[in-house]
Amino acid sequence: ITLKLLISWNKRQKDIQEISRQKLEAELKMLRSQIQPHFLFNSLNSIYALSMKKSDDTPDMIIKLSGILDYLLYECDAENVLLEKEIEVIKNYIELQQVRFGDKLKMNFDAQGDTSNLKIAPMLFLPLVENSFKHGVDRKKENAWVNIRLKMFPDGLEFKISNSNQEIKK
């Protein structure tokens, strides 16, 4: 009876771990699906505005958006992606936002240290970057800014974002 109870308990623990893993995967997929439509809508509006002005930047912005969408659709299903790829996507996202906001936005992105061959979970930083624009730039009429710093250390990394949004008091 003790052996049967032990086997049953062990199976139940494995089932709980599997359910927990599936829940985390579902939450991550839901987060990705929430980010993509908002981002896509704003980017397309920015590119549309460029096209209406007949800007020479329009084709470049379309290529940047295409690269970001390729990353979101095809590379984010992997367990890990190269940090360099995530940085490239962030830079493309920033360029799209700079076109969108123009002179209203002052942007600083600083990456320090060796990022080659390092892997991270996909979409680890892009939602944070997107929120820094959504909550720090969209709401400001002028003098908006976003500062992003990625610093590598031998045993980890630091990712810091600050924006022009005033701190909300409790």
The per-residue pLDDT for range 113-138, each reduced to its tens digit, is 988 888 998 888 888 888 888 777 76
Is the pTM of the predicted complex or chain greater than 0.75? no
DSSP-assigned states of every residue in 86-153:
HHHHHHHHHHHHHHHHGGGEEEEEEEES--TT-EE-TTSSHHHHHHHHHHHTTT-SS-EEEEEEEEEE
Residue 167, pLDDT > 70, answer no
Contact predicate 105/136, CB 8 Å? no
